[in-house]
Structure 1
Amino acid sequence: MSLPLHGSRVLVSGAGVAGPAVAWWLARHGAEVTVVETAPALRTSGFAVDFRGPTHLGVLAAMGVLDELRAVQTHAGAMSRVDEHGREIFRLPAEFAGGELEVLRRDLSRILYEHGADRVEYLFGDRITGLTETDHTVHVELARGGSRAVDLVVGADGLHSGVRRLVHGPETAYLTHLGYHLAGWDLPNDRGFDTVSRQYNVPGRMASVAADQRDPDRAGAFVVFAGAGLDHDRLDPDRQKSLIADAFAGLGWHVPHLLAGLHAAPELYFDAIGRVRVPRWHTGRTVLLGDAAWGVTLGGMGVGTGLVGAYVLAGELAVAGGNPRVALPAYERRMRGYASRWQRGANPGHFLAPASGWGLWLRDRLLSRRAVQTMLVRGTNSLATDAGLPDYAVRA
């Protein structure tokens, strides 16, 4: 059987989640796929990610990775809001944050990579530096790998997408800072934390800690803090640690202990909370996918939506026989409404660290109610579901 994308050459930027997923689907439809990743290897940092509803789980099942992911799921605990003395104010059930299936991002990335490594070429430690398009080809310049001619370029390289910058211009035109920053790091679990994520708030700041689900001797710290316009270098962890220490100086609870662990932490995840809005996701033979097109730094269902987008993008290309002029507008029409359901207006900073004492009191009061918790869980499951998703799966 001749596959619909046989002979098509596709270059994907980004080996996080959406990149390996779309690479697998494209190769499954017959394309020759190369994934370029700036990092020297698969990234091992990042938080847990969750999936919920038949659309997310259906795409994972169609890829053949659902059982593998269930074998490494975190079985995360609930989220508990506590005061300075550790007394619980309210508790959110595990399914609120963890959905129907929660895994560590590094496990998801690894499984997706391994799933397609035998049919997809991966170039780690490299990046796209130039794109020149003709009527039938995109000439791609790589920092280390020379140049290549391909039929399509997919930018699946995150909120700070290099492909988006090369094609659409500087990220300041598309990435809006939402007034908060977040960070996460590991530390020894020498205080006996369990897997319930305990969160301590003061206005504009939130600190939390929970035991590692696999290694009870380790714990993970996570902080969110207000900081509109805060200048930081995403490649300077020492500067980032200083910013975190300054933001949380003088707070009680376990915060001094977490900050002590921060200074000794070999790895740190740090970023501003931002929202990406790009008026047009495709231009000629270049298309954006996942966070590069519609991302929010934290919250919502960005990873699940990215996997659905990978399935749709590859599927529309297969239906169109690889013709980007037909496939890319169809992909964007189908995904725009679905992605915007959760992305519109989302600001996880407001939820996790309300800026005022009144806002913090109101959030706590609302989330203490069982009816509100039930509504939130049902609402997120509904947002994740797309009953009209086509069946693009190859039956070879």
Structure 2
Amino acid sequence: MRILVSGASVAGPVLAYWLTKHGFLVTVVERAPTPRKTGGHAVDLFRPAMDISERMGVLPRVEERATGTNRMTVYREGARRPVRVDLSKIFSATSDRHIEIMRDDLSELYYDAARDAAEFIFGDSITAISPDGEVRFENAAPRRFDLVVGADGLHSNVRRLVFGDESRFSAFIGAYLGVLSLPNVSALDGELLIHVGAGRTAGMYGARHLGDARALFLFRSERELVCHHHDAPRQKELLRGAFDGMHPDVDRWLDELDRTPAFYFDSITQLRMDTWSRGRVTLVGDAGYCPGPAVGGSTSLAVVGAYVLAGELARAGGDHERAFPAYERTMAAHVRGSRAAALSAAKTLIPTSRLGVQALAQGTRLISALPAGPSRALLRLTTKSARLYNSMIVDVYPSPPTTSRGAAGLAGDSGNGVGVE
């Protein structure tokens, strides 16, 4: 059975790995010309995603590339003294198994795990998908696939082609995110510097194995700003305006906007769809149920979703009419919980008032100062994300005794029929 996956960031390679383990023939098509190494930002892997990574055999390499961030210094806008926080206590209190890793590093590790069993085609994109499984591409000849999966992120091309315009499903939650790479002139190693003001938060951190650092910007907006997600000059203009005069540190970070080799900017938007499947097509990860970049644990959710989708397809013997509904039922509670957790996290990370700024700084310091037991209890009372990710349980789907005998390629195959192995 031939399955086409669109997107080679996180969900796509994880899905490809597990589908091939279950005996399916998989092709992954990715718009970027090579595996992405565009800077990226730090993402969290919680217990279920770490368990899945361990089953994939990549956990030791994930642990090697962990950012190692264990300290945080919080500067409140208008206050003289910073608040210093022990992040290691907060991480251990939040989840019994957790790692922070750069998104591009994680994507590379998952790609390495899947590349030998699935075929990856870079520098191409899907332009049309017919109900009978015929797929057209920008560059390759048309092909037929039994199933197509969109794992191509918040602005999914597959979702647009099959379900319609993104605006039908997106819900702006009142904030924006910006990330840029810049020189690690402060020699940060394991420390996160944060400046927090009413309606805006800026931070800088460096990972042990990186030669540079990342600056992260979050700011509130009552309305959606006029800005296309590919219009980098406009995005940089908006970022400068939102953080003007916050602090000399932040001004220096913004000075790197015109020199940075990697820049990301987007609204913090949730996708709210009644179903992620239509006919032969389904969606996974941010393409189907993004809870909100930077605030919703979307990376762990994408890893879990990819694993569940592959497992349900295997359990149903490739029958998508049984597998897709089972996949959606299994993920539904996780998705609902992640949406609620994201809304709560956005309120915490970007306080709306000076009182909220003070509460964030002092509350974080209190949790880090308490012994492990009380701090864990306090976090579970005050954070929805901790309860969500610590309670997320997924089945262990057994693999068949034999795996796929190869991958379905785009090149050199006219695809005149639907292949079933």
The TM-score normalised by the length of structure 2 is 0.85
**Cα distance change on mapping 1:101 and 1:316 into 2, 3 Å:** same
Aligned equivalent of 2:396: 391
Match of 1:80, SS? strand
Map of 2:323 onto structure 1: 327
Q: Structure 1 residue 163: deviation in Å?
A: 1.1
Selected match of 1:369 from 361, 366, 369: 366
How far is 1:151 from its partner?
0.6
Aligned length: 384
Question: Between the two proteins, what is the percent identity of the paired residues?
Answer: 35
| Secondary structure in structure 2 of the residue aligned to 1:219 | strand
Q: Give deviations 1:217-245, integer Å, cap 9, x for gaps.
A: 63221111123311222223222222211
Q: Which has the higher contact order (CA 8 A, sep 6+)?
A: 2
Do 1:50 and 1:97's aligned partners in 2 also have CA atoms closer than 8 Å? no
Over 3 Å counting, the alpha-carbon distance change for 1:362 and 1:318 in structure 2 is same
**Cα deviation per residue 1:150-178 (whole Å; 9 max; x = unaligned)?**
01111111111111111111111111111
| Distance verdict in 2 for CA 1:180–1:373, change over 3 Å | farther
Alignment of 1:222-233 (within 5 A): 222-227=216-221, 228-233=223-228
> Following the alignment from structure 2 to structure 1, what is the Cα–Cα distance between the partners of residues 16 and 159?
18
Q: 1:376 to 1:260 in 2, by over 3 A?
A: farther
Which position in structure 1 is the counterpart of 2:116?
118
Which residue of 280, 286, 290 maps to 1:285? 280
Match of 2:347 among 346, 350, 363: 350
Q: Which runs of 4+ in 1 moved over 6 A?
A: none
- What does residue range 79-90 of structure 1 map to in structure 2 within 5 Å? 79-83=72-76, 87-89=81-83
Whichever residue aligns with residue 297 of structure 1, its letter is P
Cα drift, residue 388 of structure 1: 5.0
State the Cα deviation string for residues 81-121 of structure 1 (Å, max 9, x = none).
Answer: 21357632352523646962222111111111111111211
Distance across 1 between alignment mates of 2:69 and 2:297: 17
Question: What SS does structure 1 have at the residue aligned with 2:342?
Answer: coil
Aligned to 2:126: 128
CA contact (8 A) 2:315 2:323 kept: yes
How far off its partner does 1:213 sit?
Answer: 2.2
Q: Which residue of 2 aligns with 1:5?
A: none
* Amino acid corresponding to residue 18 of structure 1 in structure 2: A
Structure 2 CA distance for partners of 1:59 and 1:192, relative to 1, 3 Å: closer
Partner of residue 43 from structure 2, selected from 46, 49, 72: 49
Q: Distance in 1 between matches of 2:21 and 2:189?
A: 42
Secondary structure of the residue that 1:259 maps to in structure 2? helix
Does residue 11 of the first structure (1) align with residue 13 of the second (2)? no
Specify the alignment match of 1:4 in structure 2.
none
Q: Deviations over 1:263-303 (max 9, x none)?
A: 21121011111111111111111111111111121223211
AA aligned to 2:398 is A
| Separation of aligned partners in 1, 2:263 and 2:277 | 33
Letter in 1 for 2:363: L
Counterparts of residues 207-356 of structure 1 (less than 5 Å): 207-215=202-210, 218-227=212-221, 228-295=223-290, 296-344=292-340, 346-347=342-343, 348-356=345-353
CA gap 1:219/1:376 in 2 versus in 1, 3 angstroms? farther
C-alpha displacement of 1:194: 4.2
Q: CA 1:386–1:256 in structure 2 vs 1: closer, same or farther (change >3 Å)?
A: closer
Match of 2:59 in 1: 66
SS in 2 for 1:133: coil
One-letter identity of the residue aligned with 2:336: S
Contiguous gaps of at least 5 residues in structure 2: 402-421
Contact 2:199 2:350 in 1 (8 A): yes
Partner letter of residue 113 of structure 1?
Answer: Y
User: TM-score scaled by structure 1?
Assistant: 0.90
Letter in 1 for 2:353: S
Q: Is the 8 A contact 2:65 2:209 kept in 1?
A: no
